[in-house]
Chain A
């Protein structure tokens, strides 16, 4: 079984390019990813924006529907209570000939260029802590490493904070939305009541009935000002289709990369999987958004690993791989569609 010399030459060239990238401190080049011309991107971007605008307008119209116009019981006058999910469904059915169905995200291919990295907590919001290891410092350190990797790969990266300062969840989402970023990733470190528990998990927006997740969500949503009931209504009533699918795919990629990479240096690591939870920072962002719990500070072994810069570098690299993998998926979808 002899291969053509040209194939060998090609593979050798790619092997050398991969090594040169490592020497430069870049992520290795992926053969599947090619730069799309701005000319080709533009119609897709415009179509995507137009489609999202129409969706957003529909959602706003639905939200502004006066309670009196509905057949369902009205909320008590003078309160700001939100309409029930059933009322929303009814209004929905009248406004559209048929109720909106989940939309295939493949029809809205989005090119990834600008990424917002959100280091969780900060300032007097310490997050979790184990002796000298504090979540707000760890998330910032990992975020800075991640930003460096992504920038070296040609992405435009914005950090919600670059130093030890407190930001509300709304401010974090505002930065991502204001900068029209394409992806949002919030970095956190977990704490479990069982000291033996360990692992990585990645969240995208959705509801949860898991009591432990509800507790985690409450902790992370402390500064939001919304209740879980409000959030559940918002999620069930509004959040369908493109962004949810994209966020799920994004979360899948990052989780796979996190577990796959870190398992090598942390053999007992547990894959806690991709989960949904109504974190405010995911609700308020307008692009595919995820929250990654990159390690578990309550576990002694993971705390020991987190103290090592090389391990934090590994986390950043795994996140970068996941982001890049998702960006490649999106890009390939676009190529197939064009």
Chain B
């Protein structure tokens, strides 16, 4: 289903944890960034599919060769299966957006803007381009926080802090296409919180059987920084018996582990802004990305700005789609002559 011109513009956020697509025909979808192939004939017979994507793949993970092909927001290196998985993810997103691959007569021209981590190297972008070759008709790759800023019209005197699963990306917008000096990427993000939470709980309850999936789910449900509002109690098996675990302190420690690095990076970027505009930027910081939803995080980061005169941080309406919406805005604004260069 394309628009009347036979062209479908899409913005795509290829995230480590979730992939989102916003399309010019109004479709918006998000999937978990997992792809799995049945491990054997039995599994294929049970699952009745050759490949499973997203939540369906996670739920059937015991029968699958499960891949999370994006690592820190980029295609994992060295595995054909991971490359293949990225292609599967993209095809799934395009299918959800309404691209009909079977219709050879009325072929839809697909133009995609894909967001990647702020400091992605040229080789990474080339690799992504190669991986997605043939899947779309024209491709533009931009930094994820730039796409967010573009979508929000926050192009001047602002800073976007995009906290994803694999990376936290920073971009200072000063009315120009961001250069290396305007951007930073940290590996302290949602995944690092999950890993720390898993480790912390493991130290407190050495006999508890916990997986990274459980830790991630608990964080998404109960994650917080600052003073706890209530005790966090979850259930996990200990020697096969479901047991209640109090993970309040561990959750706080894990979630607060990203506050310091993010604050430091903001404080590192701010002095690079012209002095007369630093206050404006401090008061126009935008927090986006799935992991920005941790309760109390915004206030904790504002607290960190107090030594330099304080600042104002605002969240976005929809952290999940802000990147793909920004990508779509770029795709729609780009004239045909520009798309011709990117085919």
Interfacial residues, chain A to chain B (CB-CB below 8 A): 1-3, 7-16, 18-20, 22-23, 25, 27-28, 30-32, 257, 260-261, 263-265, 267, 308, 310, 313-314, 317-318, 321, 325
Contacts and interface: CB of A to CB of B under 8 A. Distances in A.
B341 interface: yes
Given A13-B338, A16-B342, 7 more contacts: A7-B156, A11-B175, A16-B338, A18-B177, A260-B119, A264-B121, A310-B123
B330 interface: yes
B155 A23 contact: no
Contacts, number: 93
A22 B141 contact: yes
Nearest to B187: A267
B3 interface: no
Interface of B: 72, 74, 77-78, 117, 119-123, 125-127, 129, 139-142, 146, 150, 153-156, 175-177, 179-181, 185, 187, 330, 333-334, 338, 341-342
Nearest 8 A/B pairs, CB to CB: A14-B177, A16-B338, A3-B155, A313-B123, A22-B125, A3-B153, A19-B140, A31-B176
Nearest to A257: B180
Contacts of A3: 153, 155-156
B282 to A, nearest CB: 15
Given A22-B129, A32-B179, A16 B140 contact: yes
A32 B119 CA distance: 18
Given A8-B333, A23-B129, A264-B117, A15 B177 contact: yes
Nearest to A265: B77
Contact of A11 (B126, B127, B150, B179): B150
Contacts of B77: 265, 308, 310
A12 B336 CA distance: 12
A276 B120 CA distance: 30
Contacts of A25: 126
B179 A31 contact: yes
A22 B126 contact: yes
Nearest to B329: A8
B31 to A, nearest CB: 24
Contact of A23 (B330, B334, B342): B342
10 contacts: A3-B156, A11-B155, A13-B338, A15-B146, A15-B177, A20-B341, A264-B120, A264-B185, A264-B187, A325-B180
Given A25-B126, A264-B187, A11 B154 contact: no
A1 B154 contact: yes
Contact of A15 (B78, B140, B185, B187): B140
Nearest to A30: B179
Contacts of A12: 330, 333-334, 338
A10 B178 CA distance: 12
